[in-house]
């Protein structure tokens, strides 16, 4: 007899609905040891292997899924957008209890397959990947704010390294946030302050100091040296240094952790031209153990690019993507297509060939749909390579594509 537990998770408590032969029992538990023990008693009382379904609600659902993992219970973890669609189709009014009931009802009707449990290392990788993503957002925000304040104190400073802005640039801005800070110093003094920059010696520092002095003489600031805007420049330059260092530490931790995996998935991903180490690690972090998917279409659904899209040979019919899946993974894969295309100038890749061919014959100026189609091809390639434990080979991939088109 089928017994289903539908659980609607909130920040402090969860609503539980037990569905058995059309009859329901509903109650609330707190998201702590006491509440989970109450749920455990119920799970053991009703059945040895009950069906459990809940919605993935970010950090809120992590505690209850860990509890279920520790007691070796299988469960279905629904993407929030998919859960919303299910509930909208079934409920008449919005309450937490209705959500729990309709989750249970959806499982009873559709029999979703339980999530396959993954080693803890994948959860750790994803946590680091999400922290890396948040730091990237913070860096972009701080860059924009620094730009705003530099326009008032020393806008010419933004031209000193052309487009190559990194740690050395942030240090330089922190040292000389206002053009008057440079005007007050001799070239030799400026050179001494920057000679310890990474990749710099006294000669290179001297050239940079001369250029900096010239830019300071050209500048006409909107504020004085002792105005608050100068302090804001220093603050954001320092913040960017800290954020960049923090992100680098997350990157190193991810790479170190990925190298402990009992397979060569990281090496396989990096064999695809254009996929650098950090991109490969983040793909692994967001997709998890790719072997748990029965076919590439399941990965498409997990990422959220699974909609109505028909492809046969060179024919594509593109509809809107579902966006029901992992948004961070979509972003990483989207960027990866650009990296693969860029690397193709020296390292050919059949994915880049496809991307360029579709761009060439596209009737529109927007290439986002073509990139999404290319992500499909990338995911199929990744899946096959990892399932068969093979490194990427352009000639093999090209021949397989030709055979596929002929068939």
Q: Is the pLDDT of residue 398 over 90?
A: no
Q: Model's pTM, two decimal places?
A: 0.82
Q: Which residue has the tokens 């992500």?
A: 375
pLDDT at 406: 45
Residue 308 pLDDT > 80: no
**Sign (positive/negative) of CA torsion 313, 316, 322, 323?**
positive
Q: What per-residue confidence (pLDDT) applies to 172?
A: 96
- pLDDT for 322 equals 57
pLDDT in tens, 109-119: 888 888 877 88
In the structure, what pLDDT confidence band is assigned to residue 91 with cuts at 50, 70 and 90? very low
pLDDT of residue 312: 45
Query: Tokens at residue 55, please?
Result: 């919605």
Q: What is the pLDDT of residues 13-51, one digit of tens each?
A: 999 999 988 889 999 999 999 999 999 999 988 767 899
Q: Residue 81: which pLDDT band, with cuts at 50, 70 and 90?
A: low
Q: How many CB atoms lie within 10 A of CB 400?
A: 14
Q: How far apart are CA 173 and CA 238, in angstroms?
A: 9
Going by pLDDT thresholds of 50, 70 and 90, the confidence category of residue 330 is very high
Task: Report residue 169 as tokens.
Answer: 């640039």
Q: Which domains does the chain have, with CATH numbers?
A: 3-117 (3.30.420.10), 123-256 (1.10.287.4070), 265-406 (no CATH)
Mean pLDDT of 219-236: 97
Tell me the per-residue pLDDT of 59-79, one tens digit each, with 9 for 90 and over. 888 899 999 999 989 999 887
Residue carrying the six token digits 């190298």: 259
Mean pLDDT lowest among 148-157, 299-308, 325-334: 299-308
């Amino acid at each position: 007899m089928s017994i289903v537990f539908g659980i609607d998770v909130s920040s402090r408590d969860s609503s539980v609905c037990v569905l058995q032969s059309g009859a329901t029992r509903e109650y609330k538990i707190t998201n702590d040891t006491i509440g989970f023990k109450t749920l455990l008693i119920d799970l053991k009382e009703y059945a040895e292997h009950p069906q459990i379904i809940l919605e993935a609600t970010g950090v809120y659902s992590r505690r209850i899924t860990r509890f279920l993992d520790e007691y070796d219970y299988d469960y279905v973890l629904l993407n929030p957008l998919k859960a919303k669609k299910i509930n909208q189709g079934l409920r008449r009014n919005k309450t937490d209890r209705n959500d729990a009931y309709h989750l249970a009802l959806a499982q009873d009707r559709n029999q979703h397959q339980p999530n396959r449990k993954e080693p803890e290392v994948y959860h750790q990788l994803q946590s680091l990947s999400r922290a890396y993503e948040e730091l990237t957002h913070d860096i972009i925000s701080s860059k924009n704010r620094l730009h705003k304040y530099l326009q008032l104190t020393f806008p010419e400073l933004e031209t000193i390294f052309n487009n190559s802005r990194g740690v050395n640039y942030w240090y330089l801005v922190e040292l000389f946030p206002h053009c008057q800070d440079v005007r007050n110093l001799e070239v030799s003094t400026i050179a001494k302050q920057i000679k310890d920059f990474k990749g710099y010696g006294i000669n290179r520092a001297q050239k940079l100091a001369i250029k900096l002095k010239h830019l300071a003489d050209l500048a006409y600031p909107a504020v004085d040296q002792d105005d608050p805007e100068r302090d804001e420049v220093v603050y954001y330059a320092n913040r960017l240094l800290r954020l960049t260092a923090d992100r680098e530490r997350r990157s190193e931790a991810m790479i170190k952790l990925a190298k402990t995996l009992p397979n060569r998935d990281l090496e396989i991903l990096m064999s695809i031209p254009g996929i650098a180490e950090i991109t490969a690690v983040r793909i692994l972090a967001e997709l998890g153990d790719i072997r748990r998917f029965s076919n590439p279409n399941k990965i498409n659904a997990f990422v959220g690019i699974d909609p109505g899209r028909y492809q046969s040979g060179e024919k594509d019919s593109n509809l809107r993507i579902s966006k029901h899946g992992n948004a961070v993974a979509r972003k990483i894969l989207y960027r990866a297509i650009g990296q693969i295309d860029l690397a193709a100038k020296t390292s050919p890749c059949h994915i880049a060939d496809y991307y360029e061919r579709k761009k060439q014959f596209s009737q529109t100026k927007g290439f986002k749909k073509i990139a999404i189609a290319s992500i499909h091809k990338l995911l199929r390639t990744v899946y096959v390579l990892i399932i068969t434990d093979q490194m990427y080979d352009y000639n093999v991939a090209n021949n397989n594509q030709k055979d596929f088109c002929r068939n």
